[in-house]
Amino acid sequence: MVARQASFRMSTELFAAQPGPSNSLMDVRGLGVGHAISEGGAGDSGATIIAVPAGAVASVDVRGGGPGTRETDLLEPHNTVDRVHAIALCGGSAYGLAAADGAMAALEAAGIGFPVLGEEAPEKIVPIVPGAVIFDLLLGRWGSRPSAATGAAAAEVALRSASIARDGESVAGQGDDDSALAAATASGNLGAGLGASAGALKGGFGQASAVLPELPGELAALSGATVAAGIVVNPQGAVFNPASGRLWGFDSELAGEFGAASTTPVSDEAAAHLRGMNLAGTKFPAPGDGQPGSDSPQLNTTIGVVATDAPLTKAQAKRLALSAHDGLARAIRPAHMPMDGDTLFGLATGTRSGSVDAVGMSVLAATAANCVERAIVHAVLAAEPAYEHPSWRSIVGC
C-alpha cells in the first residue's frame, strides 16, 4: 500500500495540562459513571448515567436543531434549581428518555435527591436528573431502546463507581472494584454509545480529562484543577478529514494519548475508501454510492457532559458548556446541523474550595473544549464495527 505523505505538527499541551490518571470523567472527584444496555444486556441501544451523589452545580447548552432533552430549562442560570444528582445520556430517541425515570428511582432508593420539604421531612426527596438522547433507532432492531430498567441499572453502576472513587477502594487492587472502575473509565461501544454512528462510521462513547499544572499569580487557585468530558458521538458530520483520512481531532492530543493512530499516515487506499463513504464520510447521502448508512442522514446527535472539580456558579457552568461546543465543532465537521440535537451539560462538583474569576474561567473553558475534542477522538478510536457500520480502525488498519 502506498502511504500518503503528510506532515504532522506537534500538538501544544494546553496551559501545560496533562491527562488525568484515568483520562476520563472519573478523574473529577465526586462523579460516577455507569453504562447499561437495553433489554437486560441483550439490546441494540443503551444508556449512560453520570451520577453526582453529593450534587453538582449544573447548566446546559443546546446547539443542534433537533434536540431530544429532559429538564434542561431548569438548568438555565436564571432558574431556581442549580444542582443535579445525575445526567442521563440515552439512546433510543425520545423513547430513551424513559431511562432517566429509572435513574431517578435508583437515586431515590439510595436516599439521593432534593429535599422538597427541607429538614421537616428529609425522606421526601426528588432526584434531579436532566437528560438528552441520540437518534439510533434505525441501527439494530427498531423496538430495542432504553427503558426505565436500563436507566436504573446504569445509575446503580454509576453510584458504585462513585463510591469506589470516593473511598479509594480500587487502589487496593480488589478485583470487583477494579473491574467496575475499568468499565467506568472506558470508551467505545458502551451505554448510550452502543448504537451511535459517527457520520458513515461507527461511533460510540468517549472520555478524556485534563489536569492543570501549577499556575502563577491569580490563577494559582486553579493549580491541579481537573476538567473532563464524556461524549456520545453520533453526528451527521464527519469525524475525519476526507482529503487525508486523519481524524479532525488528532491535533488536540495530549501526552501521546492517541498512540500510533495520530502519527501514522493513512494510506491512499484507506483515505479513498473513507472519502467515498456517503458524502465525504458524513451521513449526507451520495447518490448511488451504495455505502452503509447512505439512506439514514437523520441518525444524529452528539451529547455529553463536561465536568470540573472547580467551584463554579451556575452561570459559569453555562459558560463551561457553551465553550465545550468549540471542541465538538473542531472534531466533527459540519457540526450543529438542523438534524443534529447536539447538547452538552456543564457540571461543577465543587470539591475544590474558593471561587473562579473571569481569567480562571477562560482557562477552564478552553480546557473543556480540548477535553471534548479529545473525547470524541477516543470514542472513534475505541469504536468497534457494528450494525453494518465499519469503524475507523477497521478501515485504516491502525
pLDDT of residue 120: 87
pLDDT of residue 165: 83
Per-residue pLDDT tens digits for 226-275:
999 999 999 999 999 999 999 999 999 999 999 999 999 999 999 999 99
The percentage of residues in the chain with a pLDDT greater than 70, rounded to a whole number, is 91
Query: Cell numbers at residue 236, please?
Result: 451527521
Q: What is the mean pLDDT of residues 322-328?
A: 98
Cα distance from N-terminal residue to C-terminal residue, the chain: 13
Quick check: pTM over 0.75?
yes
DSSP string, 51-98: EEEEEEEEEEEE-SSS--EES-GGGSTTSS--EEEEEEEESSGGGGGH
Burial of 363 (0-12, 13-18, 19+ CB in 10 A): buried
Per-residue pLDDT tens digits for 147-200:
999 999 999 999 999 999 877 643 334 456 778 889 999 999 999 999 999 999
- CA–CA dist 115, 124 (Å, integer): 6
362 Cβ contact partners less than 8 Å away, ≥ 6 residues apart: none
Beta bridge partners, 227, equal: 210, 308
pLDDT of residue 223: 95
DSSP string, 149-176: HHHHHHHHHHHHHHHHHHHTGGGGT-HH
- CA–CA dist 92, 312 (Å, integer): 32
- CA–CA dist 172, 389 (Å, integer): 40
Residue 122: is the preceding peptide bond cis (ω within 30°)?
Answer: no
Confirm if 239 and 199 have CB atoms less than 8 A apart. yes
Beta bridge partners, 37, equal: 46
Q: CA 14 → CA 18, 247, 255, 310, 366, distances in Å?
A: 8, 19, 11, 17, 8
Per-residue pLDDT tens digits for 23-63:
999 999 999 999 999 999 999 999 999 999 999 999 999 99
Grouping H, G, I as helix, E, B as strand and the rest as coil, residue 30 is coil
Domains of the chain: 14-164+176-287+295-396 (3.60.70.12)
Cβ of 85: how many Cβ atoms within 10 Å?
26
- CA–CA dist 376, 325 (Å, integer): 12
Nearest CA-CA partner of 398 in 274, 291, 232 = 274
b vs e for 337-354, b when ≥16 Cβ sit within 10 Å of the residue's Cβ?
A: bebbbbbbbbbbbbbbee
pLDDT of residue 14: 72
